[in-house]
Amino acid sequence: MFVTMKKLFNKVCVCMMIMIMLGLNIQMPVAQAAMIGTDQIIQQQSQGMEREKIIAFLDRAEVQQQLQDHGVALQDARARVANLSDAEAQMLSGKIDQLPAGAGPAGAIIGAAVTIFVILLITDILGLTDVFSFVHPVR
């Protein structure tokens, strides 16, 4: 009886070992990993920043006034920005960067006047002209 119990125990152990080995050999899906390039990370971050730049542009009072003058609600404009493709957002963000800062003739006139003043001042300091009396005081 002891021998039959031992044989039965061995059979059960062998069967369990076979089941365990078969269970371990079942192919599990393999996780795949790859290196992410710096350019991909920068591209993802810049896409978010471009949309934020557009939203910040929409938050300006002058822009909101122009939107209202044209009959566009601010919420509608924001929804349109959220639905832009990445290429469209990049193009629009680039156009915002190209807009003139002063956007008026007064800025150009003041800039020209300052440039002319600086040129005349430098030529006066070098002794090429005698336009400003404060450069070479009378001795």
Share of the chain above pLDDT 90, in %: 4
Q: How far are the Cα atoms of 15, 17, 68, 101 from residue 5, in angstroms, in the given order?
A: 15, 18, 92, 95
Percent of the chain, pLDDT > 70? 88
Look up residue 137 and give its amino acid: P
Letter string b/e over residues 37-47, b meaning 16 or more CB atoms within 10 A of that residue's CB: eeeeeeeeeee
Q: Would you give the distance in Å from CA 17 to the centre of its chain? A: 57
- Poorest-confidence range of 10-24, 36-50, 83-97, 103-117? 103-117
Q: How much is the pLDDT for 107?
A: 65
pLDDT surpasses 70 at 77:
yes
Q: Say yes or no to pLDDT of 104 above 70.
A: no
Per-residue pLDDT of 34-59, as tens digits, reads 888 888 888 877 777 888 888 888 88
Task: Please say if the pLDDT value at position 60 is more than 60.
Answer: yes
Question: Which amino acid would we find at residue 78?
Answer: R
Q: What is residue 71's predicted lDDT score, i.e. its pLDDT? A: 79
Q: Which amino acid is at 58?
A: L
Q: How many other C-beta atoms can be found within 10 angstroms of the C-beta atom of residue 51?
A: 19
